[in-house]
Amino acid sequence: MERFFLELDPPEEVMRSWPHVVIVGGGFAGLKACHALARQPVRVTLIDKRNFNLFQPLLYQVASGLVSEADVASPLRQMVGHAPNIQILLGEVTDIDPDAREVVFNDRRYGYDQLILATGSGSTYFGREEWRPLAPPMKILEHADEIRRRLLMALEEAEQTPDPQRRRFLQTVVVVGAGPAGCELAGSLIELMHRAVRREFKQLRQDDCTVVLVDVVDRVLPTMAEPLGAAAARYLEAAGVELRLGAKVEAIAPGRVRLAGSAGEQELAAATICWTAGVRASRLGRLLAERCSCPVDRGGRLVVEPDFSIPGHPEIRAVGDLCNYAHTEDGRPLPGMAGPAVQMGGWVARDVLARLQGRPMAPFRWVDLGSMAVIGPWYAVADLRGWHVTGLPGWILWALAHLAFIPDTENRIALFSKWMWQIATRQRTALLITGRPDQHIGVDVGLYRAPWNAQGSGEETQVVPAQSEAAA
C-alpha cells in the first residue's frame, strides 16, 4: 500500500506522522476543503481525473462563445499545489475498500485516515444513453465545445444553402430541460444567432432563427418562485425562444425530436439538439453503497449523517452533489448548487481538523444564499431567500455572486472584462469552430501512461485510458 507522496520523501520529515486526508474531486466542495486544510498538521492528497477546477455554472457561456475555456477553468496545482502539505494526483478512483481504508486509482492502492468524496454529478438520459451523441449534455468543457461547434457549423452550412426550408432547419436549436442551465443556454444561443445573422451572415434571415425550449414540467425554472419563472418565460419568448412545456421527449433521432404531451405527438426538426434535463450523482456513490451497504436516493446520491459521514464509517465523508443531506430545518435535501457545495467542503474540512485535535465542532448550518439564473444580456432573475429580483438588478446580483464564487482572481478579471465588452459591443470573443464531428462526446480523461520499455526487462507499461464522463 502506498501513502502520502507515493514512494518519495515528504517535504518535511514531521509530515510522516500526520494523519492522511484523501480528497477525491477538485470541484467546489473539494477545492474548498483543500483551502481549509492547507498548511494544517495533516497530509492531504487531492485526486481528480482533470487537472483543473471547472466553474460549471458558466459552461453555457463557453457553448455560446461568450467566453473561452480558460476563463472558466483554473489549474488545481496553481490553486492549492503550492501548500507544502497538499499533493495533487491525476487519476480516477475506481474502487474503495472501506475496511482497509484504501482507494484504488491508476492501478494503485492508496491508504487514507480520512476520506472526503466530492466527485460531483454527471448527466443522465434516464436510460436512453443512445441519445447522448445526438443531444450533447453540458457537464464538461468538451460538451460546451461540441455544442458551439455544432451550432456554428450549422450556420456556416446555412449560409451556403439555397433551399429555404433547409436553411430554417439549420437555424433551429432544441434545448431539452427548462431549469436554470436550459434557460441560460436557450437565452444565450438565441441572442448569439440573432446578432450573428444580423451583422455577420449575408444570406440568413433573423426570422428563421429558432430556439425551442422543451421540458415535461409546466413552467420554466420550476425550482424557483413562480413569479420569477413567469418573468423568465416572458423574457425568453420576447427574445424569440419558443417554449414547449408539458411535453415529454419520446425519441431523438438525427435532426429530429419527438414529443408527447397533452397536445398529442409533435416532431421538431433541428440541426442542433442540446440536453440539460437530467443530473445524476457520480457513480462513485453507488460503488461505495455496494462496498459498505450505505443508502442512496433515486439520483444515486449517498444519504449521509449530520456530519456528512457514511453510516458506520465516520472516517468517510460525502459532500457536494454526491450527498443527500436532509438534516435541514424543513427536512428537504440541500440543492446541488455551488453555494451549498462550498459550505459543505469548508465545514467538513474544519470538522476533520477538530476531531483530530479533540476539539468540539458546531453542527453544520447551511446559509441559504438563494438561487439565480441569467436569461439574457442585462437580464437575470434571482430569488434571495424570498426577495425576488428581475432585470438589470438581478443581472448585477448574478454577476457579483458568480465573480465571488470563481476561485481564481485572473479568471474574475477576464470574465468581467469580456462581459463588459460583449454588452458594449455585442461581440463574442470565442466563436471558434474546433474539433471534428462528435470528437467531444465520450471523451476520455484522466492519466494516460506513455508506453515505456524498462531497460533490460523487456516489460512495457500498459496504456490504460480513464473512463469518459458518460461512464464516470
Q: Among positive and negative, which fits the CA dihedral 415, 417, 422, 424?
A: positive
Catalytic residue among 92, 142, 146, 184: 184
**Measuring CA to CA, which residue among 325, 322, 317 is closest to residue 352?**
317
Residue 22's DSSP bridge partners are 45, 115
Cα dihedral angle (278, 279, 280, 282), rounded to 10 degrees? 140
Q: Tell me how many degrees the CA angle 251-252-254 measures, rounded to the nearest 5.
A: 145
What is the distance between the alpha carbons of residues 361 and 352, in angstroms, rounded to a whole number?
Answer: 9
Helix (H, G, I), strand (E, B) or coil at 424: helix
Distances in Å between the Cα of 211 and the Cα atoms of 81, 171, 237, 415 are 43, 8, 10, 26
**Measuring CA to CA, which residue among 29, 6, 10, 26 is closest to residue 18?**
10
Contact yes or no for 129/47 (Cβ under 8 A): no
Contact yes or no for 320/345 (Cβ under 8 A): yes
Alpha helices for 200-258 (secondary structure H): 226-239
Distances in Å between the Cα of 224 and the Cα atoms of 135, 185, 230, 382 are 26, 17, 10, 9
**Measuring CA to CA, which residue among 119, 243, 261, 102 is closest to residue 182?**
243
Q: Which residue do the cell numbers 488545481 mark?
A: 76
Count CA atoms within 13 Å of residue 373 on its CB side. 28
Helix (H, G, I), strand (E, B) or coil at 80: helix
> What's the pLDDT score for residue 11?
66
Alpha helices for 266-337 (secondary structure H): 284-292
**Measuring CA to CA, which residue among 120, 115, 118 is closest to residue 22?**
115
> What's the pLDDT score for residue 456?
52
Instruction: Give every residue of the chain whose pLDDT is below 70, as ranges.
Output: 1-11, 453-472
> What's the pLDDT score for residue 447?
84
> What's the pLDDT score for residue 417?
87
Known catalytic residue: 12?
Answer: no
Q: Tell me how many degrees the CA angle 73-220-237 measures, rounded to the nearest 5.
A: 95
**Measuring CA to CA, which residue among 264, 333, 68, 274 is closest to residue 151?**
274
DSSP state of 189: H
Stated pTM of the model: 0.89
Q: Based on C-alpha coordinates, what's the Rg of the chain?
A: 23
Q: Exposed, middle or buried: residue 10 (CB in 10 Å: 0-12, 13-18, 19+)? A: middle
Contact yes or no for 236/375 (Cβ under 8 A): yes
DSSP state of 287: H
> What's the pLDDT score for residue 470?
40
Residue 384's DSSP bridge partners are 387
